[in-house]
Structure 1
Amino acid sequence: MTDKKRTRRRKSDEVEDNPFQKAIKRIWKGLAAQTGRDEADVKYDLLLEMIEKGYLPVHKADQYTNILDTWSRGNVPPDWTILRFLAEVGYLRAKLPDSWVEEFLIAGNYPREAIGPILADLRAENAEIDRGLLHNLPQRDPSRFVGRQEEVAQLRRLLSPDSNSQAWVITVDGIGGVGKSELVLEVADQLRQEYARLRRHERFQAIVWVTAKETGLSDSGIITRVHRRTSSLDDIYTAIARVLGRLDILEADGPTRDDRIHEALAGTRTLLIIDNLESLKDETVLSFIREVPRPTKVVVTTRRRIDVAYAIRLIGLADNDAMTLIEREAALKGASLNEEERKRLLTLSKGVPIVINLVISRLALGLPFKTAVQYLQHPEYDLYRYALEDSVESLEPSEAAYHLLLALALCAGDASREALGTAAGLDGDEEQRDEVLVRLESLSLINRDAREDRFAMLPLTRFYLRSRLAADPELEQRLFQGLAAFYKRLFAADESANPDRYWQSIRGAAQAEALLEKEWATLRDLLFRLHEMSNYGDLLTLGLALIHPINYMGPLEDRLALCRRMADVARAVNDPVEAWLLSDGMGWMYYRLGRDDDFLDVLNEGRLAAARHAGMGLALTLADLHEAYLHIKQGHMRRARALLESVTEQVAAHRRANPTEFIGLLLGSRLADRWSAYYQALGEIEQASEMLKESVALRELSGEDMGSTHYNVGRLRLLAGDLAGARRAFTGALNYPQHQKYRTLARYGLALVAEQEENWPEAIRQARQALDRAEQMGLEEAAEIGELLARLSAFE
């Protein structure tokens, strides 16, 4: 078709437009004129808005032809709700006249008897928009608000009249300086800016802001607020009356004033924001909040929760948002931080805005970073008084709540309610323990993860409370011993003098892995502290119960450091367990880290330790078995075979005398594993597979987890080109959910199988899952998995 014909067709179309086409096209033109944007852009934004409001299904956004174009060609929407919405857009946003509303709705076959009321409603709404939002919101710089997208969305949902929650009173709580006021002001500011665009029933007609905040915190210390603050219910009434323009309320008193406030709030959809509720001493304020009439809603910021149904708890910003705040504030204030300093501030602040702002303000004054952050190391610093002291001081030093709070401060990470209750001496009183936890949470001193039912506190809070612990060493020691007792019970520690007790934790090692992963931060700190305190008995008892579960988790350096300390202790107290700790505990870690010389040195240390005690022959056998594995790795096959044959005789003799004894079965399975490695190194894959079958049988007898063995079988079947067998074995490893390391490696194996089958989507899926978990656990195989994903990227 020529350009001339196209021009004729377009002119013809304009001539032939029916009344609905003409009316609806005026919406697009009017919106474009009002906004200064292209018609195509305003139509697409309107389409997305209609999908968001539920007028259109989501898939309409993906269609090549915009449904609004379909309507522009004269197709009338079948839904009167859509026609009503479009009339609203044309009248209120595109600024089309009253006559257009009638023409548009008549052309769309809208019931004529309903058009008059609709037009009257739109006129009233237009007058409301022209009048604007009534408010007394303070001035602020919205560009300095960072993050909190989830909390903003949650608060917006709770404030919406469409919310199923029907929340009329909402609290935003947290410690001082965490950003409660800023969050609420950000949402209020959004509602103010979007006032004209919101549907009428979504709008607040008035927003009333009152603050009871008495003090603030600057880089020079705590400052008393100069401007008039709210201190009573009368002050709140006055603020409401002034914003709503109801001078009659100011003139009344007593019950008459109460009635007029109730009438004003019932007749005007109002958002009442009360900042720093805990500073108000007037008890009638709580009664007023609970009885506020619909459609008014109340948002309260507080350090202490009140008994309302809806609460938003604020902790520090997410890491990426905190880093954005650090960079933004540094740029704004002219402070300079390098990458290492930014990361250090992120760690110290844990995303609490007030900490970030104070440190950067000090940097802007010209202080070096080290000096600027030193203030955080002083518990008497005004920051702690401002953010925490009032809440902590509300607890009596002798009461259970104070002790339980300090028990959590002792923990390096989060903790279960059982651990805290035992440490605080509430082990036999679960009801009191749980009531105390609720009270501490209501004071914003601790935070509960509802999904895991575990409790944590901000680093800011922990540092301050540890300074209090240091001032009461007797209480600190009692709480510490309570924690140690809990963990010894949790991990079934063997307190006997049996030198073979080193191996007892291997029976439940895989099952303990998930539990240990949650507890490791606190346990690591506790174990090293036991060493510093020369509490050798508890260190060996608890530490031996954890050696093998740590191996399953993957923090090799942690296990190495712990085993070294425990071996030193065992030598000091002449405990034969030293031989096991050296030969297996440290030796195996050196092997996995590729430190071959250290591996051989520590094996010889273990042999010397075993020789100092009677009945330690199996420790010598294990040292030989480990050394054989190193020779296989280095290609010294003759020396490896000689050691394996010697160990085979020793293990066979022990098992003949002790056929069901656990350590004999365990060494037998390890011996079969080493023979398998030996035959694999020689390229005899089937023989290697046979030895692994023997390992599986022995592990079944000893009750060990078999995830690792199934993984190794899968690896051998893959080498043999038996993809079906490899898949079966790797899938078998997935059936041992407690052993996360080998579940991860099994997914890697399944990715390799899928790669050979050229099943690229499956290979990529399994490899991604494996890499995510391997990186979380710090597994050395993460690099190999990353290389596989890089290869597979060509097939995405």
Structure 2
Amino acid sequence: MSREQFGKLLTQGLKSIAALEKTDLSELQYELGREIGISIWTLYKWRKNTSIPSDDRTLAILARACVQRGHMGRQWLSDFLSCTIYSNKSGLLNELYPEGEAIVVTHNLPRRQHKKLIGRESELHDIQMFLSPRHRVGVVCISGGGGVGKSALALEVAHGCHETTASLQPDERFESIIWVTAKNVELLPAGQMERQPTFTDLDSVYRAIADLLDIPAIFRTATQAEKNIIVMRLLAEKRVLLILDNLEDVDDPSLFVFLRDLPAPSKAVVTSRHRIDVAVPIFLHTLDEETAHELVHMETERHNLHISEAEVRLLLQKTGGLPLAIIRTIGRMVWRGSNMETEIAQLNDPKNEIYDFCFSKTITLIQLSDAYKLFSALAVFNSKISRAALGFVAGFEDDDLRRDEGLSDLEVLSLCYKDGDYYRLEPLTHTQALTELHAHPAFERETRERWVKWYLIFTSMYGGRDESEMHLRYDYLEEDWNNILNVIRWCIDESRYEDTVMLWQNIRDFTHIYGFWSDRVSLLGWIIEEAKNRNEWQTAVQAMYDKAFTLTLTGPSSRIEEADLLLQDCWRRREVISPIVEARVAALMASLYIKYHKHEEAHQWLATGESLLCDSHLEPLELARERTSLLYDKGENWFVLGDYGNAHKVFEEMLQQGQISGWQRSIAHAQNWLAYVAILQGDLTMGEQYLRMGWSVAERIKEQRVQAYYKRTFAYYYDKLGSKSEALKWAEDACDSFERLGMPPDMNAMRELILHLKAS
């Protein structure tokens, strides 16, 4: 008799009950202790191998609970009893697992269409829990968009119930499993194929029950009421599992009454693109990237087809993880002998049969309704969008009730996904929404105008100049950046210059601080050329300065040369700009010459910038703000020359000017430089003080570049301190940040430090 083995097996059984019934283990132990007549502490001691109960009654209660409620198998029970002195082990084993008993489950299940169901483990577990006789739920509805795998999951549930019958307790077994489908068309690689549905109304469900259970009396009755009585009595006497596939294709209100009144112990699982109110919902989303990748691997292996990793990524991006689209695309490649490029082009074609199969019937239900307008308007958004924004763009700015009713309809019909107060479309659904939008040119024009107007208001509200605590507003821009970028690019494609410039001015500082540098350079390139063509030189010069500023940060040499040309052009046209912008250009020229190692010229440009600021008649706070940029470059020039003493003085002045202006970004930069200089001078105490003060600010304001510089400084600090592992962690983090921002020189410096740290 092994106490250790007994405790281990008992713990397994109790944890299985707790998991299946979703209850706390302590509450379960309290419940069992009360039934047995012992304390929870005694049960705990049994689990921890202190002792083993010796009376038959206690052991039988524990064994029956673990088998019947925890679904522990025959082998577990045999091992469990062998650890005890139970008087009739074989008797209890045969009671809970009768030997030689032939268990026959009548069914009409079609065979599985897949080798393995991928990515639905959580939903499968939930449905199995709902099908337990101990759960009050009678009907489960698997809902979701077309092609998401509803029928496959229902079939897996049904086969699972059939295959595990022998291991289940008598009250948990289904005596019959009945499958009916209303599906009248199948989408195969060759195209849509008509098929014969096996149910179209309640009577056809009754017919399937009568045929499988061999009870013709159901159809010998004179009235529908008598049929209802016979079937309900039968389902109350037997434990029957009904699977009703593609319920959205059935229009029979009496069927929903039947499902609502379904008697225990029978259960029903229905699949439908539309959510129903008589069932507990199991909503299927498309597969996540990892799971969709697994499905691609399984399908290519099944067809003995090889596709590259780049092609897999392309397929997943276009299908959005929709199982039907993945399986059909791979099937078409095998059937047609085509390549991935051809099949992706097919998926981009709105006339592809997959769109008709997945959407045509559902779209027909909402045609010309508020839901249809909302669905079409969703097409202009690239990623999830708020309820307020969608309502405004769709034309429901002053009618929240109609907007919310329409969105509810879209949810019920599985045409959009809701995430809190945000809505989104999957890639193929987005293509369909675009098709619907293009089909109504007048509505599309109005929608696009409202779309641009919304983002002009939105970016004005949450964007603008970088000032104190701006990250609290900029966070809203970051969350919606894909949509903002999409509307700007549309304005560019439509040559809407004024709208593009206004949007840009609202997001100018945000794109720098939050590290959207690639997008920033791309947008500025168009604004520069368009402003030049319109002879709007103030806008052009400001945009050239902004682009040059970003290019000087990102390198390599070709970008530095481009920045040089842009700044020279700015300087030649300085008569059209204010002294403030002129001073900024001078400071950036100094930064450029520092990179060229022409330090005397850098000093001259900095002196020019100081002179321009002195003549600008700025208010003290504004002057202090502008001077911090000049002082940054002046301090960096001394630092590169190795004159840490002068660098320290300049950065101290920069810190003071930042504090006067209240510009937190300049304060954080100054404190990082002061920390860096102190560390290189060997003053680790002072370096740490500046680091700790500045890092909290850098984290809070979310300035990506200054955070990267702080990580670099932390790496050098811990290296000097002798903590190599901590230094390596910060250096790797800094390297990742520089790489993400596109700053090769700084990234390479960190790689050298990483090599040094690993070697030491």
- Structure 2: gaps of 5 or more residues: 27-44
Going from structure 1 to structure 2, the CA distance change for 1:416 and 1:285 (only over 3 Å counts) comes to: same
Aligned to 1:499: none
Aligned to 1:486: 454
Aligned to 1:579: 541
Does the Cα contact within 8 Å between 2:190 and 2:332 map onto a contact in 1?
no
Correspondences of 1:360-759 after superposition (within 5 Å): 360-364=330-334, 365-397=336-368, 399-450=369-420, 453-492=421-460, 504=465, 510-575=471-536, 576-594=538-556, 595-611=559-575, 613=576, 615-654=577-616, 657-660=617-620, 662=622, 664-685=623-644, 687-706=646-665, 707-720=668-681, 721-722=684-685, 724-734=688-698, 736-739=700-703, 742-743=706-707, 746=710, 750=714, 753=717, 757=721
Cα offsets for 1:632-681 (capped at 9, x unmatched): 23322211122212212222332xx222464x443212112112212322
The reply to whether residue 237 of structure 1 matches residue 206 of structure 2 is yes
Structure 1 distance, partners of 2:165, 2:748, is 53
The reply to whether residue 107 of structure 1 matches residue 85 of structure 2 is yes
Does the Cα contact within 8 Å between 2:624 and 2:658 map onto a contact in 1?
yes
Going from structure 1 to structure 2, the CA distance change for 1:756 and 1:192 (only over 3 Å counts) comes to: farther
Report the CA distance between 1:178 and its aligned residue: 1.5
> Structure 1 counterpart of 2:563, which letter?
F
Going from structure 1 to structure 2, the CA distance change for 1:522 and 1:467 (only over 3 Å counts) comes to: same
Report the CA distance between 1:231 and its aligned residue: 0.8
Structure 2 distance, partners of 1:627, 1:417, is 46
Report which stretch shifted further, 585-594 or 536-545.
585-594
Q: TM (normalized to structure 2)?
A: 0.83
Going from structure 1 to structure 2, the CA distance change for 1:391 and 1:74 (only over 3 Å counts) comes to: closer
Report the CA distance between 1:628 and its aligned residue: 0.9
Report the CA distance between 1:571 and its aligned residue: 2.4
Aligned to 1:61: none
Structure 1 distance, partners of 2:742, 2:226, is 69
Q: Pick the aligned partner of 2:191 from 209, 213, 221.
A: 221
Does the Cα contact within 8 Å between 1:714 and 1:727 map onto a contact in 2?
yes
Report which stretch shifted further, 261-270 or 744-753.
744-753
Structure 1 distance, partners of 2:279, 2:759, is 52
Report which stretch shifted further, 247-256 or 641-650.
247-256
Report the CA distance between 1:566 and its aligned residue: 1.4
Report which stretch shifted further, 331-340 or 195-204.
195-204
Structure 1 distance, partners of 2:116, 2:572, is 65
Equivalent residue of 2:141, what SS?
strand
Report the CA distance between 1:342 and its aligned residue: 2.2
Going from structure 1 to structure 2, the CA distance change for 1:552 and 1:374 (only over 3 Å counts) comes to: same
Does the Cα contact within 8 Å between 1:92 and 1:122 map onto a contact in 2?
no
Aligned to 2:74: 93
Does the Cα contact within 8 Å between 1:505 and 1:548 map onto a contact in 2?
yes
Does the Cα contact within 8 Å between 2:579 and 2:613 map onto a contact in 1?
no
Does the Cα contact within 8 Å between 1:506 and 1:549 map onto a contact in 2?
no
Does the Cα contact within 8 Å between 1:272 and 1:298 map onto a contact in 2?
yes
Going from structure 1 to structure 2, the CA distance change for 1:196 and 1:745 (only over 3 Å counts) comes to: farther
Structure 2 distance, partners of 1:294, 1:191, is 17
Going from structure 1 to structure 2, the CA distance change for 1:439 and 1:769 (only over 3 Å counts) comes to: farther
Report the CA distance between 1:96 and its aligned residue: 9.7
Going from structure 1 to structure 2, the CA distance change for 1:268 and 1:478 (only over 3 Å counts) comes to: same
Does the Cα contact within 8 Å between 2:671 and 2:691 map onto a contact in 1?
no
> Structure 2 counterpart of 1:381, which letter?
N
Does the Cα contact within 8 Å between 1:563 and 1:586 map onto a contact in 2?
no
Report the CA distance between 1:404 and its aligned residue: 1.8
> Structure 2 counterpart of 1:213, which letter?
K
> Structure 2 counterpart of 1:649, which letter?
S
Going from structure 1 to structure 2, the CA distance change for 1:511 and 1:716 (only over 3 Å counts) comes to: farther
> Structure 1 counterpart of 2:123, which letter?
E
CA RMSD in angstroms comes to 4.3
Report which stretch shifted further, 189-198 or 571-580.
189-198
Does the Cα contact within 8 Å between 2:377 and 2:437 map onto a contact in 1?
no
Structure 1 distance, partners of 2:395, 2:71, is 69
> Structure 2 counterpart of 1:192, which letter?
H
Correspondences of 1:263-302 after superposition (within 5 Å): 263-302=233-272
Structure 2 distance, partners of 1:778, 1:311, is 46
Going from structure 1 to structure 2, the CA distance change for 1:402 and 1:167 (only over 3 Å counts) comes to: same
Report which stretch shifted further, 339-348 or 123-132.
123-132
Report the CA distance between 1:305 and its aligned residue: 1.5
Report the CA distance between 1:789 and its aligned residue: 7.7
Cα offsets for 1:739-774 (capped at 9, x unmatched): 455456646655665565566786687778778877
Structure 2 distance, partners of 1:537, 1:572, is 13
Report which stretch shifted further, 463-472 or 685-694.
685-694
The reply to whether residue 180 of structure 1 matches residue 150 of structure 2 is yes
Equivalent residue of 2:366, what SS?
coil
Equivalent residue of 2:460, what SS?
coil
Does the Cα contact within 8 Å between 2:46 and 2:53 map onto a contact in 1?
no
Structure 2 distance, partners of 1:180, 1:412, is 26
Structure 2 distance, partners of 1:783, 1:260, is 80
Structure 1 distance, partners of 2:320, 2:102, is 45
Correspondences of 1:334-345 after superposition (within 5 Å): 334-345=304-315
Structure 1 distance, partners of 2:371, 2:688, is 59
Going from structure 1 to structure 2, the CA distance change for 1:416 and 1:92 (only over 3 Å counts) comes to: closer
Cα offsets for 1:469-488 (capped at 9, x unmatched): 33333222211111111111
Aligned to 1:82: 62
Report the number of matched residues. Answer: 725
Aligned to 1:31: none
Cα offsets for 1:376-419 (capped at 9, x unmatched): 2321221111001111122233x332222112111122211122
Structure 1 distance, partners of 2:552, 2:416, is 40
Structure 1 distance, partners of 2:506, 2:322, is 37
Cα offsets for 1:406-439 (capped at 9, x unmatched): 1211112221112211111111222222222121
Going from structure 1 to structure 2, the CA distance change for 1:332 and 1:94 (only over 3 Å counts) comes to: closer
Structure 1 distance, partners of 2:676, 2:727, is 16
Report which stretch shifted further, 700-709 or 512-521.
700-709
Equivalent residue of 2:395, what SS?
coil
- Structure 1: gaps of 5 or more residues: 1-20, 29-39, 59-65, 110-114, 495-501
Does the Cα contact within 8 Å between 2:590 and 2:601 map onto a contact in 1?
yes
Cα offsets for 1:669-704 (capped at 9, x unmatched): 211211221232233445434434443444455454
Going from structure 1 to structure 2, the CA distance change for 1:223 and 1:768 (only over 3 Å counts) comes to: farther
Report the CA distance between 1:317 and its aligned residue: 1.4
Does the Cα contact within 8 Å between 2:393 and 2:447 map onto a contact in 1?
yes
Does the Cα contact within 8 Å between 1:513 and 1:552 map onto a contact in 2?
no
Report which stretch shifted further, 188-197 or 578-587.
188-197
